[in-house]
Every structure is written in C-alpha cells, then in structure tokens.
Amino acid sequence: MDEKLRHTFHERVPQEPFAAKFGLQLLEIEDGYSKVQMQFRPDMENLFGAAHGGAMFALIDEAFETASNSHGTLSVALNMNVTYIASPQPGSTLTAEAREVSLTRKTASYDIKVRDDKGSLIATCMALVYRKGQPLPFD
C-alpha cells in the first residue's frame, strides 16, 4: 500500500464525525485489509442492555469503508449482510477485521469479522462494493 495513502487514512479517520461519535480507531490498513477497534460503551446499549445492532454495524462499516478504499479508488457499498452471533460484554473492546475476498475493476467483496477482547466471535459480515474508477477525493 502506498505509504502516503496509509498515512492519510490514519490521519482522516479520527476526523470523520461519525467515527469520532463511536470512538472508532483505525489500527491497521493495507491493500484490501483494515482493522478497526471500538470500546463498547453503555450509550451503545439497546432497550434490553445488549449491544445495539447499529453500534455494531458502525464498527463493521468503518472496517469495510477503509479496506474497500485502500487501493486509492473510490468505492461505495452495494450490499452488506451482517450476522450478529453474540452480544459483547459491557466495556469490552471490539475489533473488526475486513479482508478482501475478490477484486475486479468494478466490484470487490469483503469478509468482515468482529471479535471481542477475549477473541470471541461477535458478528460476521459479507460485503460488496462498487468501485467507481475515480481516485479518492483526498488522494
């Protein structure tokens, strides 16, 4: 991966308002790969005290967004199929890893897994992007 682009992602993700709202932290990024972390906080709970699906989706989507745009080509989501497997414990650290499964000129697909700080699988996602063929607006 281009070092300048890697640096730009690490610089811009903390400035993204939505990422800041959820405390999303980009840990690693490579071509077709991203690792993002989030602390599961009480304000992310649903009515029943479990993790809200929207909070989990935010973590998954950030890993997807960064991995799918890591090649320097603007990519937009076409489809995301999330399976919630377990609810994390309050206060746990959650990590989403997005790995590219296939890459073509127009599309790319990603396997995304969320694990807690004990290594337990919390959620999985298969996701598909459309690659617009345009450079990233900040590249």
SS3 79: strand
Indicate whether 41 pLDDT > 70: yes
β strands within the chain, DSSP E: 25-30, 33-39, 73-84, 93-103, 107-115, 121-135
Residue 138: the pLDDT is 86
101 token code pair: 């499964």
Contact 98, 33 (CB under 8 A): yes
pTM assigned to the model: 0.96
Domain ranges of the chain: 3-135
Contact 67, 29 (CB under 8 A): yes
96 token code pair: 């989403």
Contact 70, 9 (CB under 8 A): yes
pLDDT digits (tens, 9 = 90+) for 78-122: 999 999 999 999 999 999 999 999 999 999 999 999 999 999 999
**CATH T-level topology, domain 3-135:** Thiol Ester Dehydrase; Chain A (3.10.129)
